[in-house]
Amino acid sequence: MYEVEWLKERYHYSELKYSKISSILYFGIIWSIFEKNVFDNNATINQSGAKSSDLAMALNAQDKRKLTLIWNYFVDRYTENGVVKESFQYFRFHDNDRRDLVKRCLSKGAAANYPEKSEAIMRIVFRLRNNLLHGEKDVSNLYGQNNNFKYANKFLILCIEKIS
């Protein structure tokens, strides 16, 4: 794998392991499909509310279970006893990203309804994308993000399957 060897040699990432970043690598491809099919090639976080509503309305019982598994992952990762953890701050929400909405929904945990879950997850996924592509670049920190992208990918696939 040329890219891995180049990174290891050039940037001294001797511990770079594909298995620890595979979901991050797939994210770019899945995001491209998501943006094309769900957002007509022009995804903006401001459209999250409308697209999340579309998703929530399209969910069947099996889809709701999938969404709940994704939701539970993010709730467990970013809250404890209904309180948002410090790690939530690393999303670097912008003013129009509705950070308070996401925080409020995460704090609700299982009590959040499907439109709330959908919108909060979609906004988290937008932030993950922006932080990955525009944030600080330290490959060693990516290992801790692989699961975030694993669940982000599951969410994007659900959106693509249900509302594109």
What is residue 138's predicted lDDT score, i.e. its pLDDT? 66
Listed in sequence order, the residues at least 6 apart from 12 whose beta carbon sits closer than 8 Å to its beta carbon are none
- Percentage of residues of the chain with pLDDT beyond 90: 70
Does 13 have pLDDT greater than 80? no
Strand pairing partners for 79? 84
What is residue 89's predicted lDDT score, i.e. its pLDDT? 86
Of the two residues 149 and 89, the one the predictor is more confident about is: 149
pTM of whole model > 0.85? yes
Task: Give how many domains the chain has, as a whole number.
Answer: 1
User: How high is the mean pLDDT of the chain?
Assistant: 91
Q: Which two tokens stand for residue 67?
A: 């969404």
* Helical (H) or strand (E) element with 84: strand 83-84
Average pLDDT over residues 23-30: 95
Does 139 have pLDDT greater than 70? no
Q: How many CB atoms lie within 10 A of CB 65?
A: 11
Q: 12: domain range? A: 2-163
Of the two residues 65 and 87, the one the predictor is more confident about is: 65
Q: For 14-18, 41-45, 74-78, 160-164, which range has the lowest pLDDT when averaged over its residues?
A: 14-18
